[in-house]
Structure 1
Amino acid sequence: MSGVTTRRLHCTGPRSAAAAMLAAALALGCARAPVRPGADAAGGREAAVNGVVELRLAVPAGAPVRAEVLAPSGARIHVPAFPVPGGWAARFRPREPGRHRWVARSGEGAAAAEVARGEVMAEDRGLAGQVIVSGGTLRTEDGRPFRPLGENRFNVYDPTWSDGLSPADYVARMAADGMNALRVFVFTACGRAGTMPNPGCLEPVLGAFDEAAAARYDAIFAAAEAHGVKVVLSVFAIGFTPGDAWKGWEENPYSAARGGPAAGNTDFFLDPRAREAARARLRYVLARWGASPALLAIDLLNEPEWDGAIPEDHWIPWAEDLARTWRAEDPYGHPVTAGPVGLHWNVEEDERAWWASAACDIVQWHRYGPDVHDVHDLAEALVETTRDTARYGKPVLIGEFGWGGDAKPEHDHTHVGIWAATFAGAGVLSHSAPPFTEDSDEPMTPARARHFRTLAAFLRRAEARGPLAPAPEPAVRRAPGLRALALGGERAAAVWLLAPRPGYGGRVKGARLTLAGIAPGRWRVTWVEDVSGEVIAVEERDASGPLPLDVPPFARHVAALVERIE
């Protein structure tokens, strides 16, 4: 695994005579345990709380291997192992300080025999935990709000698509640009039989997982853990469209053309044998990356409307079934989502049955198309669809949006998209790719990335006094067509303004807002140029009801931070 240190864990052989005989027969070695950065040995302690520990077990391939981990509190988890060269590996994440005891067993049910045991001492070094769903929002395990802001850089493991950067360097750059979320594809179209597979092809042959490809995903997760970036991992992406040169069904190992059980692309979702094979892939993903605190959500399927025109009544029951498997076997409770295009593009029905399902934890949709190339149309679509889909009481994630025609160097389409989505209450990931398709592909250049950096810095200050949530739109006077969006909390509020469509790009002067929901007291209002982050005006006002705000002259858009003076 890329970027790990290796420390020997305290471990002993099996205790029962029968298990001892099995261990001898298997030439068992109590293997070294690679530990991710942040979980290295120090002062006799072997790991950190929220660091990923890997147990290497020299057990030959054959019967499945699982590890049981007992935490100091008495909490017990079971984690599946996955095959690696020379044996098996099991990964787990200590979630509390103290001594964690583990036992590894090989085999099924009552026939499972102990093959190794040991212990890990974990200390709390302040490492961040995973993201959870709480009260319809995303939060870190320590209770802080988490607003996904980042990229759909789906094949970040391929440097030819990622500015020549390694996954570690690309993720580091994202973090430096204020991004905290990355969506990545596990490719299902692996290339024609006998050719070099796509670098994101995890399963080139049905049921056989490629160690070199898995190591690329390992590198992504290790970098994400190191830089505080969370990963949405799309487990079945690209490979359901018959006859397509890039996402061809014929290149999918689940297809009959590649020796799989499914005659056609829709059979993948209906055939029981294909379903069990898909479950096996999901379990491998859980075993290998489920322990990572960087795993934001497991994304079961990418854009079935666009890739294969899969009907909703095919993929939704399939997704519900796999979500039940994930939820039953994931000891960490990572959220589950799926990535359909959204309500503007459907095959037979729409995604509402999935979003309403208990199997779906995060409502996700994507937005592209000529009807949202204009920034006012984009803002309207993102805001209204976010509000519409928030009815399910779940976090909303815009998993992809973008346009290759985004004017340079302003990148106003990107800017308006991420600010409008954020103030509507959604997490938002902008699609980034070399310019192959103008409808969607736009590289993440420094000129484009600065918009994320400025928004992230604004949000950090805005939520320094507590979480903010979407608030009623402020009333606007003296500027017809001006759109105002607000986030509100007990001790702070934030406002973002989009200039009217007529005359867009010119100066807007003399506008006034009325901000509701402000508690009586004295408030500081800081107006910020929302591209550069430069402060353009500061004033203090007393509130005894709705707070009037005089907007300084601006072009295109501007933001304000309203903070209570204690």
Structure 2
Amino acid sequence: MTSLPWIGRATDAPYFNDDSGAAWTPIGQNDAITWPELAGLYRRRDLPGVERHLQWLKDSGVTCLRLMLEYCQRDHRYFELAPGRFNLSLVRLWDDLVALCQVIGLRLLLTPFDTFFLWNRWKHHPYNRANGGPCASRRKLLVCPATRQAVKARLAFATERWGGSGVIFAWDLWNEMHPAQAGGDPAGFAQFIDDVAPFLRALETRLHGRAHLQTVSVFGPELGWKPWLNEPIFRHPALDFASSHFYEEGTIDDPRDTVVPAISTGRLVRQALAQITDARPFHESEHGPIHTFKDRHRTLPEAFDDEYFRHMQWAQLASGAVGGGMRWPNRHPHTLTPGMRRAQRALADFLPLVDWPRFRRGNLNEEIGIDPDIAAFGCGDARQAVVWLLRRGPLLPDGRLDAAMPPRPATLRLPGLAPGRYRAALWETQAGRPAGELEANSQGNGILVARLPPFAGDIALAIGPA
């Protein structure tokens, strides 16, 4: 069996590539070992069904799944029965999943805990000192030295068993770091990263001759409420790329239409990129209608959710994030819809139009000139650009764009390209197919002006030298 190439950071751009230098983009979603599509892994109840599902994901353009080694919504899913005593049923589950991903060609972004259930089920958790674990309080999880030793031991076990494979895209060392997990100590985030990241990197280098990429993630709204969180999340020198979770209140977490969440997504990507000072990639690893689903107990209508998903995906990619983000399903059941899979396929088919390993993009959302009834999302450097244009309306009563709107032309004014002639490949994001090409000049003032053919709801462009 041929091993999957490892994934690393591109040398000349804030994106990823594999060992051969070929571009690689994470396209996928959050999943869990107890959710319907992977539940057959447990005690090998239905491995063929899981294999068929993973192959369908691959065929849908999915390249990566984000998973928690421990998703303890139920008592018998603890990864460790006691610190250092690993649950053999789950170890075999992960053996099988990694092997299937190796054969099919999928990768995993792994994090050691789902911290939501770690926090809410703390009374029963094996790391609780009351149960023989290392930690006296869930409010000390990030800063307790004994707990960090247990976390390092968990990660060591995982990389010793599965880390020799390119199936592992990267380690999310801690899912949704929160000040409450450090007793409110602002230094707690950096202390955890300073301890765990070098340990895992050194261990993997010794075991495998190299180390997988590392990040930590954060509940995005916290970055605005507590600005000091930006330093460790976006700029800690031990991390390879930055991650955030887009759950903006009232726009993304409880959407009323499909346009405002996209505009919020573009703004959040721009804010994230402004925090990064060393050109590391930014990857949004969790988003979705969490308030609608968890607090209001509503599953979004499928047609609305498909459009909300597709709009957020393209807003991320065009604004300069790596990929289209990773949805937390927040549906009943916890699965993505067929329409979302088609949207992922459409994004995957667009990616070869851009030379990602040499794309030193900057965000251009606010610099692009466009007709006032259109929201613009874009990023570019002196030789390439990616642009996504979204009509602001008209909206149907349910909040979706009116599919019956007549196509209309638009004039694009794109700054930043070096003087010369450029070709723009147009892309229909819903159908997932080319929508023609046009050529335009970037003048000496650095502005490319292009008259776009009529389009209805949205259109994507990949722009490069003619």
Are the equivalent residues in 2 in contact too, given 1:187–1:238 (CA < 8 A)?
A: no
Task: After superposition, give the CA deviation of every residue in 1:207-226 in whole Å (9 maximum; x if it has no partner).
Answer: 11123312222222223333
Using the size of structure 2 for normalisation, the TM-score is 0.80
Q: Which of these residues, 447, 458, 461, is aligned with residue 339 of structure 2?
A: 447
**Structure 2: runs of 5+ lacking an equivalent:** 294-298, 396-400
Contact 1:161–1:434 at 8 Å: present in 2 too? no
TM-score by length of 1: 0.67
- Structure 1 residues 495 and 270: CA distance shift in structure 2, 3 A: closer
Paired with 1:180 and 1:398, the residues of 2 have a C-alpha distance of 15
2:17 to 132, 139, 146: 139
- Contact 1:312-1:349 within 8 A present in 2 as well: no
Q: How is 1:75-474 mapped onto 2 (pairs within 5 angstroms)?
A: 128-132=5-9, 134=11, 136-155=14-33, 159=37, 166-187=49-70, 189=72, 191-192=74-75, 197-198=76-77, 201-238=78-115, 244=120, 248-305=121-178, 311=184, 313=186, 314-331=188-205, 332-344=210-222, 350-355=228-233, 356-368=235-247, 369-372=249-252, 373=255, 374-390=257-273, 391-392=275-276, 393=278, 394-403=280-289, 405-409=299-303, 411-427=306-322, 428-433=324-329, 435-436=331-332, 443-463=335-355, 467=359, 469-470=361-362, 472-473=364-365
Q: Where is the strand percentage greater, Structure 1 or Structure 2?
A: 1
Q: CA deviation at 1:253?
A: 0.7
Partner of 2:461: 560
1:157 Cα offset (Å): 7.8
- 1:423-444 Cα shifts (integer Å, max 9, x gaps): 11213433244725xxxx8621
RMSD: 3.3
Answer yes or no: is the 8 Å Cα contact 1:520–1:544 preserved in 2. yes
Aligned residue pairs, count: 427
Higher helix share: 2
Task: Report the Cα distance in structure 2 between the residues aligned to 1:541 and 1:301, rounded to whole angstroms.
Answer: 46
Question: Cα gap change, 1:212/1:562 in structure 2, threshold over 3 Å: closer, same or farther?
Answer: same
**How far did residue 326 of structure 1 move?**
1.0
In structure 2, what is the Cα distance between the partners aligned to 1:216 and 1:306? Answer: 32
Instruction: Work out whether residues 369 and 414 of structure 2, in 8 Å CA contact, stay in contact via their aligned partners in 1.
Output: no
Deviations 1:280-333 (CA, angstroms, capped at 9, x unpaired): 112111211221112111112222449969646344422331112112222122
1:60-86 deviations in Å (ceiling 9; x for gaps): xxxxxxxxxxxxxxxxxxxxxxxxxxx
What secondary structure, in the 3-state scheme, does the structure 2 residue paired with 1:204 have?
strand
- Residue equivalent to 1:476: 369
The answer (yes or no) to whether the contact 1:153–1:431 under 8 Å persists in 2 is no
Identity of aligned residues (%): 23
2:411–2:449 CA contact under 8 A, matched in 1: yes
Partner AA of 2:315 in structure 1: A
What amino acid maps onto 1:396 in structure 2?
A: F
Asked if 1 retains the 8 angstrom alpha-carbon contact of 2:368 and 2:378, the reply is no
Residue 260 of structure 1, CA deviation: 1.1
In 2, are the aligned partners of 1:187 and 1:237 still within 8 Å (CA)? yes
Partner of 1:28: none
Q: Which runs of 5+ in 1 are unaligned?
A: 1-36, 39-50, 52-126
Greater CA radius of gyration, 1 or 2?
1
- Aligned residues of 1:151 and 1:181 also touching (Cα < 8 A): yes
State how far apart, in whole Å, the 1-side matches of 2:83 and 2:131 are. Answer: 9
Change (3 A) 1:295 1:561: same
- Secondary structure at 1:330 match in 2: helix
